Amino acid sequence: MSTHILVTGGCGFIGSNLIKYLSTLNLFDKIFVLDNEITGTAAALAGVPHQFIRGDIRNQRDVDEAVKKVDVIVHLAADTRVINSISNPVYNFEVNVHGTVNILEAMRRHKVQYLINASTGGAIIGETEPPVHELMPVNPASAYGASKASAEAYCSAYSQSYGLSITSLRFSNVYGPLSLHKGSVIAAFIKKILRGEACDIYGDGYQTRDFIFVSDLCQGIIKALERKERGVFQLGSGQPTTINEIINLLKDVSGHKYNLELAYHDYRVGEVRHNYTDITKATDYLGFKPEVSLRDGIQITWDYFINKDDILNSSLTHRAIQNAD
Ligand X SMILES: NC(=O)c1ccc[n+]([C@@H]2O[C@H](COP(=O)([O-])OP(=O)(O)OC[C@H]3O[C@@H](n4cnc5c(N)ncnc54)[C@H](O)[C@@H]3O)[C@@H](O)[C@H]2O)c1
Residues that bind ligand X (CB under 6 A): 9, 11-15, 35-40, 56-58, 76-80, 95, 99, 118, 120, 171, 173-174, 184
Closer to ligand X by Cβ: residue 120 or 196: 120
CB of residue 325 to ligand X, shortest distance in Å: 31
Closer to ligand X by Cβ: residue 13 or 233: 13
What is the C-alpha separation between 289 and 284, in angstroms, rounded?
A: 10
Closer to ligand X by Cβ: residue 6 or 320: 6
Closer to ligand X by Cβ: residue 67 or 320: 67
Q: In the beta sheet, which residues pair with residue 301?
A: none
The answer to whether the peptide bond before residue 89 is cis (omega within 30 degrees of 0) is no
CB of residue 1 to ligand X, shortest distance in Å: 28
Indicate the residue whose CB is closest to ligand X. 12
The answer to whether 285 is a known catalytic residue is: no
What is the C-alpha separation between 76 and 216, in angstroms, rounded?
A: 16
Nearest C-alpha neighbor of 108 from the set 150, 151, 157, 148: 157
Which are the contacts of 224, defined by CB distance < 8 A and separation ≥ 6?
A: 116, 167, 169, 233, 286
Closer to ligand X by Cβ: residue 37 or 134: 37
Closer to ligand X by Cβ: residue 79 or 196: 79
Sign of CA dihedral 250, 251, 256, 261: positive
CB of residue 312 to ligand X, shortest distance in Å: 17
CB of residue 223 to ligand X, shortest distance in Å: 16
Contact at 8 Å (CB) between 46 and 29? no
Residue 311 neighbours by CB distance under 10 Å? 12
DSSP states along 205-245: S--EE-EEEHHHHHHHHHHHHHH---EEEEES-S--EEHHH
Nearest C-alpha neighbor of 178 from the set 16, 10, 9: 16
What is the C-alpha separation between 62 and 280, in angstroms, rounded?
A: 38
Radius of gyration of the chain (CA): 19
Could you tell me the CA-to-CA distances from 302 to 62, 185, 186, 249 in Å, in that order? 37, 13, 9, 10
Q: Which of 21, 91, 144, 267 is catalytic?
A: 144
CB of residue 179 to ligand X, shortest distance in Å: 7
CB of residue 270 to ligand X, shortest distance in Å: 14
Q: In the beta sheet, which residues pair with residue 35?
A: 54
Active-site annotation, residues: 144
